[in-house]
Amino acid sequence: MSVKPSTKSVDGRQLRVVYGACPHDCPDTCALETHVDEQGRAVRVQGRSTHPITRGWLCAKVNRYLERVYHPERLLYPLRRSGPKGSGQFTRISWDEAIAEIAERWQQLAATHGAETILPYSYAGTLGLVQGGVTDARFWNRLGASQLERAICGHAAEDAVLLTVGGRLAPSPETLVQSKLILIWGSNPASTAPHVMPFLREAQRNDSRIIVIDPIRTLTARSADQHIQPLPGSDAALALSMMYVIVKEGLHNPAWIAEHTLGWEPFWERIQQYPPERAATITGLAVETIVALAREYAMTAPAVLRISDGINRHTNGGQTVRTLACLPAVVGQYGVAGGGLMYSTSDWLKWDRATVARRGEAVCPPATRSLNMNRLGAILTGEADPPVYSLYVYNANPVASTPNAGKVVEGLLREDLFTVVHELFETDTARYADIILPATSQLEQVDIHKPYGHLSLQYNTPAIEPLGEARSNWDVMRALAAAMGFKEAWLTASADEVIAEVLTATEAQQPALVGLTLERFQAEGSIPLVIPEHERVPFSDGKFRTPSGKVEFYSEQAIAKGYDPLPGWEPEVEARPEPTRPASKEEPLPLLSPAAHHFISSTFGNQQTMISKERNPTLRIHAEDAKLRGIRSGQLVRVSNERGWCHLVAEVSEDVRPGVLATTTVWWPKFSPDQRNINWTTSDRLADFNGGSTFYTNLVFVTPQESSQPQQDPVGVFIATNS
Ligand SMILES: Nc1nc2c(c(=O)[nH]1)N[C@H]1C(S)=C(S)[C@@H](COP(=O)(O)OP(=O)(O)OC[C@H]3O[C@@H](n4cnc5c(=O)[nH]c(N)nc54)[C@H](O)[C@@H]3O)O[C@H]1N2
Ligand SMILES: Nc1nc2c(c(=O)[nH]1)N[C@H]1C(S)=C(S)[C@@H](COP(=O)(O)OP(=O)(O)OC[C@H]3O[C@@H](n4cnc5c(=O)[nH]c(N)nc54)[C@H](O)[C@@H]3O)O[C@H]1N2
Ligand code: SF4
Ligand SMILES: [Mo]
């Protein structure tokens, strides 16, 4: 990319141009350009035109990033609770008071109950190396706090891909234009990775076919050439059955399988349990659909399989992804340009972990227990021993986003829990804090970003001064370290010093970073990883990063982890016993709650323009199920199970098939009816692999709310009166 221009003339004004990175949990990791006026105010945020993926445009959300940055409800000062927990009553205090109080409480806890009773809770508010990765590790390791197993998103899928091919080495999305068939399986890029869409359109213009496999007719499905709608949680059976057809019809690639895979014989035994007639009863698809899909996939080359994390959020999610990851091997499509598996690009570059985390430093106490973030409610209400007495939340909004959120609230109400929340806004989580700390936005902080959906790194230069007294995550860690008496240079270094240190340590091991210095990032903003052209087709050398160097249909590593050594299908733990039989009025139905187009998880869920575009927290329900229950569009319905309940606005829709329900997430509870959202019903049960989340294994009862009127103005109606 070109070297940094310092100013731009717009409408006769000289505006400063600052290069940045979109910090959000989105595979596109866009390269930003912020224009700043003479008063130091950002007046425009746009996508950089020279970036190979961003290509000069941003999504509907970040296009309006300045509304977020200059939102009238930004937290600007530290606050201390002055009423009962959850009352929303706070009084302004100084940073010195806030830091001193936190440090004192933690020193007391460390002395009396052990530092393990302190739990940092965070996820992907920002994906930056410093404000995310380093903040997540260094200070907490030095303190000896409990570790957090960050398993809320794609943990099961990551494990599945690692077991099968040994690395998350997706090709960059530009290569989609080389594909002749694109299977988009349980992934909704039109909303969740929008910069993939122009490549899909171009592929279609090149006569490529796109097939979307998703229980919901998503925005992506609407623009596909074909949409196949299996029942949720049935995909592994569909994939196994495709393999059955492929092999029975001799459309597989025996030579490739013999050379590049391990365990074909036992896997073939398993596949034979899934003739299309059986798969049809599991998936709810016609036998002909399964057979035609199998033939098309096997007979079209190159064919790429795109998956993302949505499909892994089931109790059988790990095995589902592992089975899907075997499909390209059966037809010999790994290592082919425009073919293979497009999951995540995360393993093209791995930051040097020892430098990021400093876990091995002599001053750090021995490794502590790891607590799974999906179990937060349970952890706070008795599961943890010793209990958690202090929770420090940043980069996350667990009251909105965590499964079984009602339990989380129950835990946060504990009088003996000292909760600190570092946030840009008074989220539903911040409301339960004892101390709230104001956080900077991306325009106010330094960072560097490694994407999971392409192959360029983005550096983020702060464009404006912090608003009010807001501080970045890392600056708060530094202040807390000082207050706790920790003097190590790796806890006091500036963000840029940390970046330089990690770049140097990582470059020593990974050629993809050679020559990419902090100074170059500061000048250029975005730089592609150094990957030779001939290595850009993943696995084209036939070497997989598994222990055997092959695609492992049979995995000893899986056995060691207590999993089935072979891919396979299991019914979901919570499922209708006969899913293809029409559901009676009294029966609970499976509910999917995937990503909303105008939010990123719960981020942007307090921005009026985004709420207006999303309209309502809706329940999409098929006309047959709606009629049976006497439900009309626009009516408020109660969605419930043994974990909890919430109210949604019914939308009778052909987007879902009979017997399947859908909503979108993550609505802020405080902007939802009764101040609760769908996560009051989702389960904190863990997935089959790696402690993953199971948001989409969720059976719920649906009943109409008798007295309710159609909802027109959700924000006016639902907004909490005391917020
Ligand atoms: N606009 C927007 N963008 C986002 C986010 C957001 O909230 N909004 N979230 C970000 C984050 S945190 C993530 S992890 C990614 C997620 O990115 P995606 O994985 O693309 O998004 P999801 O909506 O979680 O799930 C994708 C699709 O999987 C389908 N699905 C669910 N269960 C099944 C199943 O059993 N079988 C099949 N075949 N399909 C199934 C859902 O119906 C959904 O359409 O997106 C990121 N980008
Ligand atoms: N029902 C259901 N629930 C889901 C999902 C689903 O599909 N269905 N998706 C799940 C998935 S995939 C994910 S990844 C999780 C995500 O859940 P979370 O990680 O909780 O993500 P967000 O809800 O976006 O919360 C991020 C918070 O971090 C704050 N933040 C942003 N930048 C900074 C910063 O620099 N410093 C500090 N201190 N804070 C910052 C934002 O203001 C925001 O409130 O949600 C999960 N929840
Ligand atoms: S959310 Fe995704 S698409 Fe939108 S600007 Fe950020 S990286 Fe780009
Ligand atoms: Mo996620």
d(CA 606, CA 715): 10
- For 237, residues 6+ apart whose C-beta sits below 8 A from its C-beta are 274, 278, 279, 282, 283, 569
Cα 668 to ligand 3 centroid, rounded to whole Å: 20
Per-residue confidence (pLDDT) for residue 450, from 0 to 100: 98
Report the nearest-CA residue for atom 25 of ligand 1: 310
Mean pLDDT of 22-43: 98
Ligand 2 contact, 188 CB (< 6 A): no
Ligand 3 lining (C-beta closer than 6 Å): 22, 24, 26, 28-30, 58-59, 61-62, 194-195, 600
CB atoms near residue 263 (< 10 Å)? 20
Task: Give the mutation target among 150, 188, 319, 696 for probing the ligand 1 site: most ligand atoms within 8 A of CB.
Answer: 188
Nearest alpha carbon to residue 364 among 617, 202, 212, 142: 142
Does residue 715 register a pLDDT over 50? no
Nearest CA to ligand 2 atom 45: 401
Asked whether residue 687 carries a pLDDT value surpassing 90, the answer given is: yes
| pTM as predicted | 0.97
Task: Output the CA 539–ligand 1 centroid distance in Å.
Answer: 26
Q: Give 603's strand partners.
A: 600
Q: Which atom of ligand 3 is nearest to the CA of 63?
A: 5
The answer to whether residues 279 and 271 touch, using CB atoms and an 8 Å cutoff, is: no
- Higher-pLDDT residue of 716 and 121 is 121
Give the Å distance between the CA of 188 and the centre of ligand 1.
Answer: 6
Read off the amino acid at residue 21: A
**589-704 under CATH 3.40.50.20, yes or no:** no
Convert 595-632 into a string of H (helix), E (strand) and C (coil).
Answer: ECCCCECCECCCCHHHHHHHCCCEEEECHHHHHHHCCC
| Residue ranges per structural domain of the chain | 79-153+349-442+456-528, 156-345+539-560, 589-704
Q: What is the mean pLDDT of residues 644-663?
A: 98
Asked if pLDDT for residue 286 goes beyond 50, the answer is: yes
Q: How confident is the model at residue 665 (pLDDT cuts 50, 70, 90)?
A: very high
Helix (H, G, I), strand (E, B) or coil at 63: helix
156-345+539-560 under CATH 3.30.1490.100, yes or no: no
The secondary element (H helix, E strand) that includes residue 422 is strand 418-423
Looking at the CA of 58, which ligand is closest?
Answer: 3
Ligand 1 lined by 596 (C-beta under 6 Å): yes
In the 8-state DSSP scheme, what is residue 38? T
CATH architecture assigned to 79-153+349-442+456-528: 3-Layer(aba) Sandwich (3.40)
If you count DSSP H runs as helices and E runs as strands, how many of each does the chain have, helices first?
Answer: 25, 28
Write out pLDDT tens, residues 558-614. Answer: 999 999 999 999 999 999 999 999 999 999 999 999 999 999 999 999 999 999 999
- What pLDDT band is residue 11 in, cutting at 50, 70 and 90? confident
Residue 719: band (very low, low, confident or very high) from pLDDT cuts 50, 70, 90: very low
Does the pLDDT of residue 160 top 80, yes or no? yes
Ligand 2 atom closest to 603 (CA): 24
Nearest CA to ligand 1 atom 21: 310
Ligand 3, atom 7, lies closest to the CA of: 29
Q: What is the pLDDT of residue 534?
A: 82
